[in-house]
Each structure stands twice: as C-alpha cells, then as structure tokens.
Structure 1
Amino acid sequence: MLVIALVAIAGAGAFAIAASNRVKGSPAQTAAAYFDAWRRGNVSAMERLVFQPPADFSVRHRTLSDQLHVESLQLTPGQLRTTGEQAAEVPFSGVRRLADLGDWPFDSTLRLAVRERTWKVLWAPETLHPLLKDGGTLVLEEVETSAAELVTSEGDKIPNDSYAEAYLDPLKREFEHVNYGWSLVSKVPGRPDTTLLHREPEANVERTTLSRSVQAAAARALDGTEDSTIIVIRPSTGELLALADRLGESYSAVRDVFPPGSVFKTITAAALIKGGLDPAAQVGCPGTYQIPFHRPFSNDGEVDRGVVTFTDAFAYSCNTTFVEQATTRLTGEELSRTADEWGFGRPIATGIGGTCGTVPETDDLDMLGADVIGQGEVVTTPLCMAALAAAVQSGTWRSPRLLSEELVRRIDGTPHEDVQMDEGVVAALREMMTAVVDYGTASESGLPEGAAGKTGTAEVEGETPHAWFIGYRDDLAFCVFVRNGGSGRSVAVPIAARFFNGL
C-alpha cells in the first residue's frame, strides 16, 4: 500500500511539473487576436497581447491615427513563419486611408515569442509602421496657397505669351482665398526629410470671357510689332474675346487715351447721317479745304477726288469732305452728344476698369474741324473703339467685359445697360464700313470676305502718327492700334488680316 501511495504522489508531482511548463496559446492564435483587435481599434486588447508594452503604447497608436487623419485601416496577414523554438513572425500588409491624401499602403512584420510561458507580441515602433524605426516620425503638413487661376471661357489655360498678362495678373488678387493641400513627410534623425504623399492645393479657378483660339490668334498677329494692341469683342454679348496688349512704357489699351484719327469719322458720320446727310449724297473731296475765314485742312497727300458720294468719302477717308460737311452742318455740342451716344458718355465696366475718352464741346470752328477727323481735342482708348465697331455690327452698344456680369458688378460696379442705336444710322454705317474694305483704304489687304472697317492715321506732333483700324466680321468686332506705328492702312490693317488668317 505504501508503495502504491508513493507512486501516486510521484505521478501527481510529475503532472504538476509538466502542467507548470506548458506554454499558453500559440503564435497563430496570438497573431490573429492582435490583428483582430487592431482592425477594431481596440488598443487596450492589443496592449494585453504585447510583452512589456511601452507606457505610451496606446498614445502612440491614437496619436498616429489622429495626426495623419486616418479614416480606416485594412490589414492582411501573410503566412506565419517559425524563427526559433519559441519564436515566430507574421509578415503583413496594410492600407491606411488618410482623409486628405487617400490610400497609403505599407508592409511590416509582427514578431512573436514565448515570454513567461505565453505567446506574446514583441512590439516595436516599426510594427506600427516601418518608417517609425530608429526614432522616425510621420508628419502630415499643410501646404497653403491663395493663388487664383484665370482661364478662358472654355475652361482652358490662357495661351502662353498671350500679351494679356498685364490685365490678368493683377485681376487674380480679386479671387484669392486660402486653400490647403497636404504632404505626408517621413522624418528620421540624421536623414533628409522624405515626402511620401502629396496633394497640391487647388487653385481658385475663375473663367474669363477670353476665347482661347481668338486670344491666341490676336497675340500671334502682334508678334514682331512693338507698341501695339488688338482688342476683340463679341458684339452680341459685349464679351472680350481677346485682349492682346503690347503697348510699351506702361501704356494701357483700356485706360490710356490717344488721338483716334480717321477711325473717329465713324462717329462724325453717325452725327451727319442723323442730321440728314444721305450716304448717297454727292459731296466734294478736294485735295485741300479751308473753313471760311479759318484754317485749311488737307487729304493725305492732298489727293483731290472731285465730287463723290458721302459713302465714297468715308471709304477713301476724305478729310476735306468731313471738315466741310461737319463745320457747315454740325455744332460742337451735336458732335459731342453723338459721341456720348456711341459710348463716350457712358461708364465702362469690364472687370479690369477702363474708359472711353473725351470729345469736348467747342465753339471754335478750327477745333471742330480738327475734332471731326479725330485730331484736335478728341482722345479715346482702343477699348472704346472696339466697342464702337461692335455697336455698329450688332446695332446695340454694350459695355465690354472680361468677366461674368455678376463678377463685373462686384469689381467695377453695375455696368451701363445696353443701348439700342438708331437703326437707320447703323444700317448706313455698315454699308460705309463695308465700302472701306471693298474698295477704300482697307481694300486689297488680305482681309476675309464679309469684313468691314475703318482705317485711321492719327497725327502726333513731333512723332510718327498712330496707326488704327477698327471693324468687324460676323460676331467678331475688333480694334487694332499701333502707337507711333505710322499709317493705319499699311500697319494696322495687315495686323487685322493676320488675326483673321490665324483663327
């Protein structure tokens, strides 16, 4: 009996020793439990599976998720590998979805070992992400911009070398407000920072009325011609389709005024027609005409064309005809009032400012004679002359604009309402401007069929004259101006022809 008892006691002791040496769990079970807790964001459960976790274990996990704006985490364990009698590892891949940068994949390894007779996770910072090894940190940095981008009416980029930059660059400030982008940056002591993910801030995009194709054609038409500008307007809406400005010395095609020369005869003709002069009326076009008891005026080269129709006098740009007819039929007040009707008396609201010019009233016949042919005290902007051509084409004067009507109101104030022009005057001006291109001063110049216009050469004391050409074709109205360029026919008209050929 004693022997049996001793054997029983010995057996119980051996069982107790074996039970006390038994390892709890398995590496596969511990790894699965850890990944499951990590997916659920249960950091406390994760921490219980780690051997001697650092005091800031929970803080590290939560801080990384908060600072990087992690929205979700996917984990995909690989095949468990035994690395020793009581050691194993599980390679795994993960994808963190960052709210600001999208999916961010990574690969790491979960290491396990038996500690205190239990399978435990041997945690290190690189378990959370490999780039956290050796004191590395991951930082989400804001990238700030307040830039605005102006685009064409089609939403395209403004063509390069468009000659519109002087207007567009200052305009961008009207639309600047702060936007943010993001960069995810890895920082490891002793190494250069590494950008892992990046999202540029979105620029504030605003559409202008500029047409990509029209702006490009206008800019290329000016290539090689200094101190020049071409402005193109859509007559049916007043939209600026092109604003190419190469004027030097900080001159502006929309704000600075110049003597218009014979393009102003369009307004003088409007005043005379409204006053009763028929475009078919026979008028004299002598080489020189002297206002009785006042100064003389001459045609270019003192060309004497004898008696012609008023339309022909406009087509050939007879100074003498216009001086004689205007000084005998019009007053300075009537000329000024007509100019006001065709834009001079109305504010222009483009979104980039602008003015039309002035036609002062005068009782001096010498000054009136000079004014009616665009000399004297008359001054205007290329912008205003483009709007004049647009009004002839459409029969309605509209304030030209570079932005939507809503934005123009915000920046420049409420534009003047559209004004219907006298139908009879408009019809006559269209025929007269067509004659200029058909057989007058802009004929045989390469302009396309259907074009109409008026040339101008504005004298400048002591300097080369300014060259002008205004006109329209279909729903495009334009003004070409070359400061101190010379003759409108020889300098400005070819630019218009190049523009149309470039469309």
Structure 2
Amino acid sequence: MLVIAVLAVLGAYGFAVAAANRVRGSAQQTSAAYFQAWGDGDVRAMARLVDQPPGDFVSRHLSFTEELHVEKVELRPGAVKSTGEESAEVPFTGTRELREFGPWPFAGTLRLAVRDRAWKVIWSPETLHPLLKDGGTLGLTEFDGPSVELVTSEGDKIPNDSYAESYLDRLRPEFGQVNQGWALVSTVPGQPARRLMTAEPKAEAERTTLSRSVQAAAARALDGVEDAAIIALRPSSGEVLAVADRLRDGFSAFHDFFPPGSTFKVITAAALLESGLDPAAELACPGTYTIPFHRSFQNAGLQDHGAVTFADAFAHSCNTTFVQQAVTRLGAEDLRSTAERWGFRRNLPTGAGGDCGTMEDPADDDWHGADAIGQGTVVATPLCMATIAAAVQSGTWRSPRLLPAAQAERIEGPAHKPVWLDEGVVAALRDMMAAVVDHGTASGAGLPPGVSGKTGTAETQDGADHGWFIGYRDDLAFCVFVRHGGSGRTAALPITARFLNGL
C-alpha cells in the first residue's frame, strides 16, 4: 500500500510539473488574433498580445493612423515559420488606404516568442511599418500646388511665350489660394528625406476671353520686336481676344498713357462730323498752317496735298486741315466731351484693371490745335485706342474685358454701360478709315483685304516718336503700338500686317 501511495504522490507531482510548464496557446493562434485585432483597429486588444508593450503602444498606433490619414488597412498573413523551440515569425503583406493617395502596399514580419509560458508578439516599430526601423519616421507634408490655370475662351492652354503673362499674373490671385498637394515622406536619421508618394493637386481651369488663334498670331507678330504691344478686341462684345505686351521699363498697354498722335483724329473727326462738317467738303491741306496770332503746325514731311475732301484729309492724316477745322469749328469743351463719349476719362474694368485716356480743356488755341491731332494734353492707353477702333466697327462703345462678364464684375464691379454712337457719324468714320488703307497713309502696306484703320505718329519729349495703328477687320478690332519706334507707317504697320496675315 505504501508503494502505491508513493507512486500516486509522484504521479500527481509529475502532472503538476507538466501542467506548470505547459505553453498556453500557439504561435498560430496568437498571430491570428493579433492580425484580426489589427484589421479591426482594436489597438488595445493588440497590446494585450504583445510582450511588454511600450507605454505609447496605443497612442503610437492611433497617431500613425490619424497623421497619415489611413482610412482602412487590409492584412494578408503568410504561414507561421518556426525559428526555434520557442520562437516563430509570420511574414505578411498589407495595404493601407490613404485618403490622399489611395492604396499604399507594404510588407513586414510579425515575430513571436514564448514569454511566461505563453506565445506573445515581440513588437518593435518596424512591425507597424518596416520604414520605422532604426528611428525612421513617416509623415505627410503639404506643399503648394499649381495656382489656377487660366485658359483661352475655347478652354485651351494659353500659348507659351505669348507676352500675356503679366496680365494673367494679375488675374490668378482673384481666383483664391493655390491648391495644396500632399507628399508621404520617409525620414531616416542621417539621410535626406525621401518622398514615397505624391498627390499633385489639379489646377482649377478658369476661362479668359483670349482666343487661342488670335493670341498666338499677336505673339508671333511681336517676336523679335522690342517695346511694342498688340491689343485685339471683339467689337460686338468687348472681349479681349489678345494682349501681347512687350513694352519695356515696366510699362503696360492697359494702364499707362501715351500721346496717341493721329489715331486720335478718329475722335476729332467724330466731333467735326457732329458739328456738321461733311466728309465730301473740300478743304485745304497745306504743308504748314499757322493759327492766327498763334503757333504753326506742319504735316509729316511738310507734304502739301492742296485741296482735298475732309475724308481724304483724314486718309492722308493732314495735321494742318485738322488743326484749322478744330480751332474754327469746335469750342474748347466740344473735343473733350466727344472724347469722353468714346471712353476717355473712364477706367476700364477688364478684370485685370485698365484705363482709357485723359485730356484737358485747352488753355488757348495752341493747345486746342495740338489736342486735335493727339498731342497737347491728350494721352491714352493702347487698350483705350483699341476700344475706339472697335466702337467704329460696331457703332457702340463697349467696355473691354479679359474675363467672362460675371467674373470681371465680381473682381472690379459693374462694367460701364454701352454707349450707342450716332449712326451717321459712325458710317462716315468707317468710310474714312477704309480710305486710309485704300489710298491713304496705310496703303500698300501688305494688309489683308477688308481692313480699315488709322495710322498715328506721336511726338514725345523723351525719345523717338511713338508709332501707332488702330483698326478693324470684321468682328476684330486692334491697336498696335510701338513705343519710341518711329512713325506709324514704318513701325506699326509691318507688325499689323504680320498679325492680321497670321490669323
């Protein structure tokens, strides 16, 4: 009986020892539970399966998910591999869905070992992601993406090197801040940061009124030309079809004033027609004319055209005729009031700003005569003179704009209301501007058929003359301006011919 009792005691002891040394669970069970909790986002359940988890285990996982904008994670465990009597590992792949980037695949290894007679996960930062090894970090950074993309009225990209850049730069800030891009960045101590993924923001497209073909033709016409600008408008709407500006020294074709020279004779002619002067009236065009008891005025090259009609005095740009008729037919305020009806003294709310022109009531006949031929107190922007040409073509003065009407109004307020011009005056001006090209100062310049216009040469106090040509063809009006380029015929007309023939 004693032997039996001893054996029973020894058997019970052996069972107790075996039970005490038995390992709870398995590597397979622990890894499966860990991956399940990870996929469910149950970080606290994950922590319970880790041997001596760091104090920031839960917060590290939560902040990793939050900071990288992880929306979900999918895990694909491989087979459990034994690496010793009480150690194992499980290779796995996974995909995190990041809000800014979409799927972000990764691969790692889950290591396990027996601790306190139970299978536990042996955790390190690279378990969360391999790039966190050795103090590495992962993070999102924002960067400025492209600002709004301004496109043509057709929705096409505005041609490169179009000489419209300064105006487009004025417009972009009006369409809000630039869009932000995102980069997923890996940093390892001692090494430069590395972008793993980039989410480039898409630029918002905003249409301007620019025509791709007209803008391209204007830019090509100015290639190789310094200190010049071309403005093209659609007379029926006021839309700016092209702005190619190569003016130097910070000057702008929308904002800076220059003496317009004989292009202003369109305004003077309108005032004279309103006073009752008939286009067929025969007038003298001597080489020199002296206002009684005042100064003398000359035609270019002292040309004497003898007796000509008023229409031909316009076609040949007779300074002497226009001065004589202005001082005898027009009162001091008549020329100014006509100019104001045609846009002078107005700002031009294109969306990128703009101004038209200014003039003062003349102090005496000397100033009155000079104003009549676009000198004296008269100054205008090239944009302004393009609107005057457009008004002749359409019969209505319209405020120009570089953006759709609603956008231009949002930025700069309401446009000026259209001004309907006297039909008889406009009809006469059309004939007179056609005569300029047919047999006047713009004849034989290589312009395509159907062009009407007016040349201008403006004297300056700081250098050579400014050269001008304004005109229209069908539903396209334009101004070509060459600062200190010489006469309108020699400086502006060749550029105009290249522009119009290039359309």
Q: Give your verdict on TM over 0.5.
A: yes
* CA apart distance, 1:134: 1.4
Aligned residue in 1 for 2:401 = 401
Aligned residue in 1 for 2:94 = 94
* CA apart distance, 1:345: 3.9
* CA apart distance, 1:39: 0.6
Q: Distance in 2 between matches of 1:424 and 1:398?
A: 18
* CA apart distance, 1:11: 5.9
* CA apart distance, 1:419: 1.3
Aligned residue in 1 for 2:114 = 114
Matched, 1:334 2:334: yes
Q: Distance in 1 between matches of 2:452 and 2:14?
A: 116
Q: Distance in 2 between matches of 1:54 and 1:301?
A: 96
The answer (yes or no) to whether the contact 1:210–1:240 under 8 Å persists in 2 is yes
Matched, 1:430 2:430: yes
Aligned residue in 2 for 1:309 = 309
The answer (yes or no) to whether the contact 2:221–2:498 under 8 Å persists in 1 is yes
The answer (yes or no) to whether the contact 1:177–1:204 under 8 Å persists in 2 is no
Q: Distance in 2 between matches of 1:303 and 1:426?
A: 28
Q: Distance in 2 between matches of 1:258 and 1:63?
A: 63
Aligned residue in 2 for 1:56 = 56
Q: Comparing 38-47 with 460-469, which one deviates more in the overlay?
A: 460-469
Q: Distance in 1 between matches of 2:468 and 2:85?
A: 95
* CA apart distance, 1:294: 4.7
Q: Which runs of 5+ in 1 are unaligned?
A: none
Q: Distance in 2 between matches of 1:5 and 1:255?
A: 116
Please give the residue correspondences for 1:48-447 in structure 2 after superposition, counting only pairs within 5 Å: 48-143=48-143, 150-175=150-175, 177=177, 179-200=179-200, 206-292=206-292, 294-362=294-362, 364-447=364-447
Structure 1 residues 368 and 59, CA gap change in structure 2 (3 angstroms): closer
Structure 1 residues 298 and 130, CA gap change in structure 2 (3 angstroms): same
Structure 1 residues 60 and 460, CA gap change in structure 2 (3 angstroms): closer
Once the two structures are superposed, what CA deviation does each residue of 1:311-353 show, in whole Å capped at 9, x if it has no partner?
3332222223323433333223222211111111433222333
Q: Distance in 1 between matches of 2:73 and 2:26?
A: 25
The answer (yes or no) to whether the contact 2:148–2:178 under 8 Å persists in 1 is no
The answer (yes or no) to whether the contact 2:342–2:397 under 8 Å persists in 1 is yes
Name the % identity.
66
Once the two structures are superposed, what CA deviation does each residue of 1:367-420 show, in whole Å capped at 9, x if it has no partner?
333322222332222121011011112221112223344444454443321111
Once the two structures are superposed, what CA deviation does each residue of 1:270-300 show, in whole Å capped at 9, x if it has no partner?
1222223333344443444444555443332
Once the two structures are superposed, what CA deviation does each residue of 1:33-75 show, in whole Å capped at 9, x if it has no partner?
2111111111222222223322322222112112222211111
Q: Which amino acid aligns with 1:195?
A: R
* CA apart distance, 1:445: 2.0
**Normalising to structure 1: TM-score of the pair?**
0.89
Structure 1 residues 85 and 406, CA gap change in structure 2 (3 angstroms): same
Q: Comparing 171-180 with 39-48, which one deviates more in the overlay?
A: 171-180
Once the two structures are superposed, what CA deviation does each residue of 1:231-256 show, in whole Å capped at 9, x if it has no partner?
12222222222222222233332232
Q: What secondary structure does 2:500 align onto?
A: helix
Give me the CA root mean square deviation.
Answer: 2.9
Q: Distance in 1 between matches of 2:174 and 2:462?
A: 41
Q: Distance in 2 between matches of 1:301 and 1:191?
A: 75
Structure 1 residues 92 and 417, CA gap change in structure 2 (3 angstroms): same
Q: Which runs of 5+ in 2 are unaligned?
A: none
Q: Which amino acid aligns with 2:196?
A: L
Q: Which amino acid aligns with 2:448?
A: P
The answer (yes or no) to whether the contact 2:457–2:488 under 8 Å persists in 1 is yes
Q: Distance in 2 between matches of 1:323 and 1:279?
A: 16
Q: Distance in 1 between matches of 2:430 and 2:82?
A: 94
The answer (yes or no) to whether the contact 1:392–1:429 under 8 Å persists in 2 is yes
Q: Comparing 354-363 with 140-149, which one deviates more in the overlay?
A: 140-149
Structure 1 residues 429 and 130, CA gap change in structure 2 (3 angstroms): same
Q: Comparing 392-401 with 74-83, which one deviates more in the overlay?
A: 74-83
Q: Comparing 481-490 with 21-30, which one deviates more in the overlay?
A: 21-30
The answer (yes or no) to whether the contact 1:342–1:397 under 8 Å persists in 2 is yes
The answer (yes or no) to whether the contact 2:346–2:357 under 8 Å persists in 1 is no
Q: Which amino acid aligns with 1:197?
A: M
* CA apart distance, 1:427: 2.0
Q: What secondary structure does 1:332 align onto?
A: coil
Q: Which amino acid aligns with 1:390?
A: A
Q: What secondary structure does 1:266 align onto?
A: helix
**Normalising to structure 2: TM-score of the pair?**
0.89
Aligned residue in 2 for 1:476 = 476
* CA apart distance, 1:493: 0.9
Question: How many pairs align?
Answer: 503
Q: Comparing 365-374 with 150-159, which one deviates more in the overlay?
A: 150-159
Q: What secondary structure does 2:191 align onto?
A: coil
Q: Distance in 2 between matches of 1:142 and 1:368?
A: 63
Structure 1 residues 462 and 209, CA gap change in structure 2 (3 angstroms): closer
The answer (yes or no) to whether the contact 1:93–1:106 under 8 Å persists in 2 is yes
Q: Distance in 2 between matches of 1:29 and 1:370?
A: 101
Structure 1 residues 493 and 199, CA gap change in structure 2 (3 angstroms): same
Q: What secondary structure does 1:343 align onto?
A: coil
Q: Distance in 2 between matches of 1:249 and 1:42?
A: 67
Q: Which amino acid aligns with 2:101?
A: L
Aligned residue in 2 for 1:499 = 499
Q: Distance in 2 between matches of 1:128 and 1:233?
A: 62
Q: Distance in 2 between matches of 1:11 and 1:462?
A: 120
The answer (yes or no) to whether the contact 1:143–1:200 under 8 Å persists in 2 is no
Structure 1 residues 51 and 278, CA gap change in structure 2 (3 angstroms): same
Q: Distance in 1 between matches of 2:330 and 2:95?
A: 83
* CA apart distance, 1:263: 0.7
